[in-house]
Structure 1
């Protein structure tokens, strides 16, 4: 496996991946990325990559690892009871703060279950961070507030230094004439004055140094020596206090080493996961589907070599030509043939790298949906294994590597991907072809998939004798005599050695002679057949592209038709809603007009002319608000007591109790409600509308209730009780007004309690009715606040 990783240039891909890490520890983890040992671990790592990619896109500036440092050396030192430096401890505090920030950003079990499960048990140790930040200042210097003793020593030290500075200034003023300059120098931590060599006896003190010319002597004045000794003592005490505090902080860190190591590991894992996500996005990768069934097919469309992509985008290389790899579950061996420099080896390495990338939790540089079985082993024999030191020829080197591949397959039953470049090459062609044929047949039963490149014609024919084999070839442009790097499936390829030799300038006579030598072996005929198959495949490809274009146009047309249908449905719904709104407005206006006519008649003494005008107005309103008849045949149907009908205003079914007003009105019961409705306001459950009753012989008359001469019943009965629960306010008003026309005493109206909207609407309307004397709540036994009693004048 290690040899295969080196042959496929997997370490080089990991170097590219490490460029996207945010910390040194994350880069190191990327460079030494471990391949998961199970399908479940690979799927979890893919989920982690997917979640971090989504989160990185949501956060402004992406997921940041600023402040995170490698803690391993510090933790090792503290664990051994060593004293850490202030800078390292301050860096630890920054890492703790960054870890807590990242934990807060990531933790969301519903959106990011895998990453949340990773960071949730990690302790961010806020108390330790607070302690470190309290004791340490910028640069790792211990703050005065860290210890009262340290603060006191530093205060004394500052005062002593200021006193020494003042005395130095005073000495310099008194002995200015003997000084070479006014700059205060320092020797061995002591302040000294530059005194002329001939005048050193005029200044008592300790000589610490002299100039190279001997003209200047550096003297510490004797008056400052005791003060300097005191400062030295205070500085020593300050260092002792600082070391004492650093030992305490280091010991505090040592008590949390296990939690800090766990935090360090999680941060490195998150950094590597973010690097995988950013690298996957940079190459335009798609998340692969890792199948648990080892016999699952390989579906890789538009596959591009990831290292060539890096070369194209970072180094200005040539565009990468994508290839399609679609291997069914029944295929075990794919033989890729075609000319040299046609891209066969690149295809081998591309397949091997994407198998490793999917296992490592990386997205694949493909198009659409990429799926493949999880491969526990990726084994390869690519390149020249010739070694002069080991006395190995090219053929011997290949055989030794293939022997190790077979041994690895025999030692494990896990699904494996085997990649062989120029299998059987390096020896006699006939023997090499026979050996390659036997090897591929053996691998067909030992590995999940073997992909081999070859120039042997015998391997091209294996497909026609064994259904486990498939042919593929790299395309070659006969016009330009150059490969196109496209991979063709189902047909073998031609080596085109003579055409390439001619293009490279080989003498035409030699090329022609080689062509004549091919004819007796019938190789020319085989190449002609292959060329015919390639032409046929090209025509089929063009036909398939035309069919795909037609299908795309049909889909676009279908989408246009569906969009038109949806717009029409939307317009129809809007028209229906507008019609309902207009109908409701018309009903409300009609009801208002009827109430105005009734109010006008009741306010004065009506005469015949007023009654006639009112009757004509009511007829016009009836014509205006009469519903349009449907086209169904409803002749003959009339509701009868006991039959169930649908009340149009409520949209609910009700039972007919009795017919009144000559069949023009019905008393119905809908649930607990008992109401009187017009015949036109109901329909049969099957949609039939009722036939109107026979017209009365008399002309339309308008009833006018004269003032009552006698009092009606003062107790609640079924005749003076009306139930308006479930109705709208305007519907309840119409029903109450109709009952008030015939009332000869108080009227009980059951409206319920609910939100109180119906009760408030009725009470507001009744306040405007002139023939209502008063309205009050019913007695508790008659409904209480859920029932109103209307007393007419």
Structure 2
């Protein structure tokens, strides 16, 4: 009983009515208005899962889930089971319901990551053959169609012929007796065809009078000449009714045969509609999904919690703005006492918490900022407002006590069955019942001293027997409980001393001040009276109020600093986003410039190749002489100087390698290295069409740097040369290996060569201090590895590179040693 009282006190039926406006079907609206509160946490979690998936589905689909065609066919199914004959409209509703649920299942099956909804509709049977049969026999108006049976079609054909004969005869009578006819029309009275005859000329057209006008001036007569035809028409009409009824009876029997499946179909459709209503209502509230926390381990966190009924009032009834409250209850807290002035929002806070707990239990999202963390309460019990009865002679205090007694009885009854509850829900290891108790003005309505003592005893009892109790009070003695028992916490509603009005903000850890004397003084009450009252109160009370005022001022300063810090953080985030955007623009610009450069180089190479081809063709046209070869070589050198970019600064210790371009000062020629220098310092080169062997001492780089001459070693001291994958020269032994970290490792597997180059550039810059860079490119086809090696070969910061050992990745990893 007390739980039903609590629902009424929290205005839960009003919230359910708001929820029903988001339902798409009549059954969904009825289910929303009579929302059942699950008895177990498992059921609540299942409802929340449904709401989350529908919420996600509603955001994916343009128009959301559609429940078109689904109607309440429950009564029709019951009558079909009792061998009644369904009407055409009822049969048509069954067919549209089958089609609508099939469309729902199709939409859900076509989506991914909806395991709960997919399982819900997995066993849904929509009987398309029954739907097709109904549509074949029943037209869109709910009438039995001619195509339902040949017999029915034949009867209706005879009826049309009979009706034509009757109309033909009556039209002839109207033309012949036009003076006796009141109006030249053919109408029906009952199932008989009649014509309107003037009362003064009734003998002119003998027949049966079936009706008379209100004035008596017109008689509706069935002429004797068509009576037999009318009788035949009535017989055909009865035959038609019997045949149509037989068709509907067959369809009804088919419906009755699958009644259990259709009832399940209707239940699933209602469940989906209810879940959709919860999701749409939650979206409208801008609410977030709750997470059920473990008692005694996690903090209840409800940031910027808003009262859902006040939100509705604000948006639909032009109400005032809703001021949210913050609720943070530490795991060890069992009782929270809220103090403060009247109309300050204490009662609204209680109701908001109660509604939030109920909404989480039924699968609704809670109108608060993420994260929304709240326990699952077995019972939610409340004593809010006055309960006065003139008939029972009950005072406000008596009404409170009677309701509190019922609350304690409900808690004790739950405690007796707590073993069974814990057995069903193994997660609930908390020994006391998981009840939420909300008490408004606890202990009020009687002598303050006795009421205060009773309130203290009651709250201490509830601290031992409930998961959380939240109570509002004006008793100052309750503020001290926090300092005597760690399970108690104080909170207060803020009051503006300047405007003498509440701000509706909830302050945690600070008890409310007594503002009566302050308000009286500022409102102009006689100063002597206020001072006398202050003497009665005592200095200790004033000292406490000053301490509380100091705490409130300190809290405001901290909040101001927190707001300033938040603003600085916001500006820093904005600056970070701006820098990131500019960096992205620079990177994009760099890629564009690189692409343009590559395109320019390709164009220059193509042009150079064309010019070289012209030189070759001139040589091929006649007998080539040495002078011709020298002229061709000079022309190619001019092409090279014209199209190739200026040579990069040579590396220290220049060593000509195969494919390098070198200069031979003695011959004033530029040549290409064909073979690497031998131990004597000799190497083969080619310029033009001529090949020759030259000494390292006679060559230099294109930059004018002299070649490094080899140092001859004793045979016993020779070591096996280490050769880079891309270079033929002998390298000095590597330094001691560096430690591989995430800072000097870059993973480019899956990249294209062009995209990998930018990643390599960043990796080289990041690993400069380390002196070595591990490049993970994978094995694959080898194209990425080849591109990496070509890039490293030309990079000025890379001294050398080699493939890693097998334990480091082998051919899938290249180690680059940086300068």
Compute the TM-score of the two structures, normalised by the length of structure 1.
0.76
Aligned to 1:556: 574
Aligned to 2:810: none
User: Contact 1:286/1:364 (CA < 8 Å) preserved in 2?
Assistant: yes
Aligned to 1:74: 76
Aligned to 1:436: 455
Deviation of residue 150 (structure 1)? 0.8
Stretches of structure 2 lacking an aligned partner (at least 5 in a row): 419-431, 659-674, 687-699, 702-721, 732-780, 782-819
CA distance in 2, matches of 1:543, 1:263: 58
Question: Is 1:453 aligned to 2:455, yes or no?
Answer: no
Deviation of residue 241 (structure 1)? 0.7
Could you say what secondary structure the match of 2:371 adopts?
strand
Counterparts of 1:111-130 in structure 2, within 5 Å, are: 111-130=113-132
Counterparts in 2 of 1:170 and 1:365: CA distance versus 1, 3 Å? same
Question: Is 1:325 aligned to 2:344, yes or no?
Answer: no
Deviation of residue 659 (structure 1)? 7.4
Stretches of structure 1 lacking an aligned partner (at least 5 in a row): 640-655, 667-678, 693-753, 755-793
Counterparts in 2 of 1:550 and 1:142: CA distance versus 1, 3 Å? same
CA distance in 1, matches of 2:78, 2:570: 64
Counterparts in 2 of 1:405 and 1:209: CA distance versus 1, 3 Å? closer
After superposition, give the CA deviation of every residue in 1:40-61 in whole Å (9 maximum; x if it has no partner): 4333322322332343344444
Counterparts of 1:98-109 in structure 2, within 5 Å, are: 98-108=100-110
CA distance in 1, matches of 2:73, 2:654: 93
CA distance in 1, matches of 2:218, 2:636: 129
CA distance in 2, matches of 1:634, 1:471: 79
Aligned to 2:401: 399
Question: Is 1:418 aligned to 2:437, yes or no?
Answer: yes
After superposition, give the CA deviation of every residue in 1:195-219 in whole Å (9 maximum; x if it has no partner): 5667655544334456677776554
User: Contact 2:334/2:488 (CA < 8 Å) preserved in 1?
Assistant: yes
Counterparts of 1:269-418 in structure 2, within 5 Å, are: 269-291=271-293, 295-410=297-412, 411=414, 412=418, 415-418=434-437
User: Contact 1:179/1:194 (CA < 8 Å) preserved in 2?
Assistant: yes
Could you say what secondary structure the match of 1:138 adopts?
coil
Deviation of residue 172 (structure 1)? 3.1
Aligned to 2:490: 471
User: Contact 2:514/2:545 (CA < 8 Å) preserved in 1?
Assistant: no
Which range is displaced more, 241-250 or 51-60?
51-60
Q: Pick one of 18, 21, 24 that aligns with 1:22.
A: 24
Deviation of residue 9 (structure 1)? 0.9
Aligned to 1:785: none
Could you say what secondary structure the match of 1:2 adopts?
helix
User: Contact 1:475/1:485 (CA < 8 Å) preserved in 2?
Assistant: yes
Aligned to 1:613: 631
Counterparts in 2 of 1:176 and 1:625: CA distance versus 1, 3 Å? closer
Which range is displaced more, 144-153 or 618-627?
618-627
Counterparts in 2 of 1:231 and 1:539: CA distance versus 1, 3 Å? same
Counterparts in 2 of 1:290 and 1:607: CA distance versus 1, 3 Å? same
Counterparts in 2 of 1:472 and 1:233: CA distance versus 1, 3 Å? same
CA distance in 1, matches of 2:218, 2:644: 123
Deviation of residue 120 (structure 1)? 2.8
User: Contact 1:638/1:691 (CA < 8 Å) preserved in 2?
Assistant: no
Deviation of residue 4 (structure 1)? 1.8
User: Contact 1:637/1:691 (CA < 8 Å) preserved in 2?
Assistant: no
Could you say what secondary structure the match of 1:299 adopts?
strand
CA distance in 2, matches of 1:586, 1:452: 85
After superposition, give the CA deviation of every residue in 1:438-468 in whole Å (9 maximum; x if it has no partner): 3323333433322211112122122223333
Report the aligned-residue RMSD: 3.5
User: Contact 1:157/1:234 (CA < 8 Å) preserved in 2?
Assistant: yes
CA distance in 2, matches of 1:665, 1:431: 114
Aligned to 1:782: none
Counterparts of 1:714-793 in structure 2, within 5 Å, are: none
Q: Pick one of 257, 260, 263 that aligns with 1:258.
A: 260
User: Contact 1:93/1:132 (CA < 8 Å) preserved in 2?
Assistant: yes
Deviation of residue 21 (structure 1)? 1.4
Deviation of residue 340 (structure 1)? 0.8
User: Contact 1:634/1:689 (CA < 8 Å) preserved in 2?
Assistant: no
Counterparts in 2 of 1:481 and 1:232: CA distance versus 1, 3 Å? same
CA distance in 1, matches of 2:490, 2:685: 86
Aligned to 2:66: 64
Aligned to 2:88: 86
Q: Pick one of 536, 539, 559 that aligns with 1:541.
A: 559
Deviation of residue 628 (structure 1)? 4.0
Question: Is 1:604 aligned to 2:622, yes or no?
Answer: yes
CA distance in 1, matches of 2:191, 2:611: 109
Could you say what secondary structure the match of 2:275 adopts?
helix
Could you say what secondary structure the match of 1:339 adopts?
coil
Aligned to 1:515: 534
Which range is displaced more, 227-236 or 609-618?
609-618
User: Contact 1:108/1:116 (CA < 8 Å) preserved in 2?
Assistant: no
Compute the TM-score of the two structures, normalised by the length of structure 2.
0.74
CA distance in 2, matches of 1:484, 1:218: 80
